[in-house]
Amino acid sequence: MSTAALLAILAALVLIIASCAFGVVRQAEAIARRLPDPYGTLVLTLAIVLIEVVLISAVMLGPGQHATIARDSVMAVMMIILNLVVGLALLIAGTRHAAPRLNRVGMSVYLALLVVLLAIAFVFPALVGDNGSYTPGQAALIATLTTVLYAFFLFRQMGRQRHDFQEPHHLEETPRPSPGSELTMSQLLTKYRRELTGRTVLLVALVVPIVLLSHGLADVLDATLSRFGAPVALVGILIAGIVFLPETVTALRAAYRNELQRVSNLCHGAAVSTVGLTIPAVLIIGLLTDQPVLLAESPTNLAFLAITMVLTASTAFTSRVTALHGAAHVAVFVLYMLTVFV
């Protein structure tokens, strides 16, 4: 096959999958508008992470050796979401609004979980694993631990701590509703049952083409990498870009409206969900297919993750975020991209 034909097929697959991803996000956003935060953003985040898991799994099960695809994809997601998207959102909010603020408690929860989950994903495989991979027994334990931790996070986020993930000015300026004055979750589901059912069916229907085309995308990506000698990490960056482009648009719109906590729920929530769901999924696939799953990161990327966590902490615990916070995040993403191609 000629190079031009290969690139044309790759472009067509990416366009179709990205279009379906936008459709999934559109339906998830419509569902989210009927549900209060953090339920709304959680629906959107889980829909996006589902697509990512499908694409990563397709590449793992496709031709060629892709032992690092999960590591590269999750690393790319962290850099894109936590630095590029968050940075652009802070630049927009910081230049358009006088005093954009975040809910500090919710941000601290995200930060705590990210530190632990990223250490489990990228640090401990080098310390306790075998050549950068967890042994089968360790993989089963880590998959269980990560899943339980993420499930407990969802339980708290949707339960007693849901107010920690709402806009801070809403909590301060709007009186807390008295018991029975607002619709419960079951009442909302009953009220909008027909719309929610229809949109959920359409969302699932839009995921189906992504699942069906993901294997073909894996084949074409493998052939393209071999043809051009591109860095292996580029596959992970491409997957992360396809999956999180629609959510990026949503996050930037929220920043434009000065809804920084929604930006945080979308971005930091997506980061937590990506590690909390993708890592267990790929470890289980590795166990079932007897494939190695190389997770240990390079010192350079570990340094980028450490810098990102420090920047996230500085954003979380300041009384007022500014455009300069955003500029620092974007600069880190640019440096990360330089290390991929240089």
Q: What is the pLDDT of residues 233-254, one digit of tens each?
A: 677 788 778 777 877 888 898 8
- Compute the Cα dihedral for 26, 182, 157, 37 and give only its sign: positive
**Among the residues of 174-291, which ranges form H helices?**
185-191, 193-228, 233-256, 260-273, 279-289
Q: What gap in Å lies between CA 316 and CA 279, rounded to an integer?
A: 25
Nearest Cα to Cα of residue 162 among 41, 23, 319: 41
Close Cβ partners of 154 (under 8 Å, ≥ 6 residues apart)? 42
Nearest Cα to Cα of residue 317 among 124, 47, 107, 61: 107
pLDDT score at 334: 95
Q: What gap in Å lies between CA 244 and CA 45, rounded to an integer?
A: 10
Cα first-last separation, the chain:
29
pLDDT score at 178: 38
Q: What gap in Å lies between CA 253 and CA 238, rounded to an integer?
A: 23
Could you tell me how many helices (H) and strands (E) the chain has, helices first? 15, 0
Q: What gap in Å lies between CA 282 and CA 224, rounded to an integer?
A: 23
Give the residue ranges of the chain where pLDDT is below 50.
Answer: 170-181
Pick the CATH number of 3-341 from 3.40.50.970, 3.40.640.10, 3.30.428.10, 1.20.1420.30: 1.20.1420.30
pLDDT score at 174: 42
pLDDT score at 77: 87
pLDDT score at 185: 62
Q: Which amino acid is at 16?
A: I
pLDDT score at 169: 57
Its pTM stands at 0.81
